[in-house]
Structure 1
Amino acid sequence: MNVLAPEAELWIVRHGQTEWSREWRHTSFTDLPLTEEGERQAETLRDALASVEFDSVLSSPRIRARRTAELAGFHDVILDEDLAEWDYGDYEGLTTETIRERVPDWTVWTHPCPNGETAAEIGVRLDRVVDLARRPGRTLVFAHGHSLRVLAARWLGLEVEQGRIFDLDTATYSVLSADRGTPVVKRWNVTGW
């Protein structure tokens, strides 16, 4: 990874609620819209983000992330496939509880997703986002729960699996920056609702 520019700042936004996020179902490539509540949540982000100037705004290409960006007031975003959610493979649409009926103690952080993405694979693509965001300026990204938790871990120089320590609710924003060159969490899981 590149050296962190002192004036680099990465703002991350998790998309608003979808039917599956409300039900705790793993959602990667299934392109679900926001629920009415998710749209309301996304709109509350507008005031929090309106007074901040961003040098670049990126979004996962999934409709739930793009729609959150629009409702938060960002219509001209760069779509970046690297921000897509962790590919859960055969576990797409299942809850952790359901998966654990077959694989006790399963978590995405500690076990594989059959026919899905490995921790190493998601780490490689989110390292590319970190490299972009470590340049001077303020970057805003709209994406998903697990991918953003991995992004935070990689920003801080942690292993992908350490993303498990960053709880992240729907329609929240977080800020990653630096303190005298050391990557830090400035704000985490902030909500406007």
Structure 2
Amino acid sequence: MTVGCEREFATVNALLATKFDTRGVDAFCLAWIKYERQLRKVAAFLVYQSSELGRSEKPALREVIRSKKTISHISLRGSISLLCGAKFSQLIGDDYASLSHSLSSSYNARQKIVHGQQTGLRLSRENLEEKVHHIQRWCMLFSDSSYDRFGYDGFGGKTSLFKSNNATLSKAIDEQLAIANGWAEFVRTRF
């Protein structure tokens, strides 16, 4: 687990260690936010590796991302796969199938929970805590893999918009962004 991932999940682990009755649902919601945040930050990092983007384009990139009405974890995962040239099954490894299934189930629960609705799944605190551990495991595996592949885990640093100085990665990203008619269109249609 990268240091950034460990730090990011410290608050989730602290919640789980409490005796609060709501620790399961609270930790679940926070873990999901961290999962989606990691995906968004890695996707933004990868787009920023384009040779078309530099320091002066950071505000424009942030604005295109901010103005996007809907961003889903599935679309972000697809964007990341396209940009880095690897399927998530490769990025996550042997645990991919079980964790992906758990994340799909967690997403359905999340949709209800964050809107104050009943899930209809009769989830116990233990069920939610298990989902938290699966989310954390996914994030840990992805942080390790993405750091090894392109030097950013989605958690470390103050910003995701920095250059990795990886010419091979930049070239591959430029090719994908050209197919999508540029970085802004890619973000608008793929994120």
Larger RCO, structures 1/2 (Cα 8 Å, 6+ apart): 2
Greater share of residues in strand: 1
TM above 0.5: no
Greater share of residues in helix: 2
Q: TM-score, structure 2 length as denominator?
A: 0.30
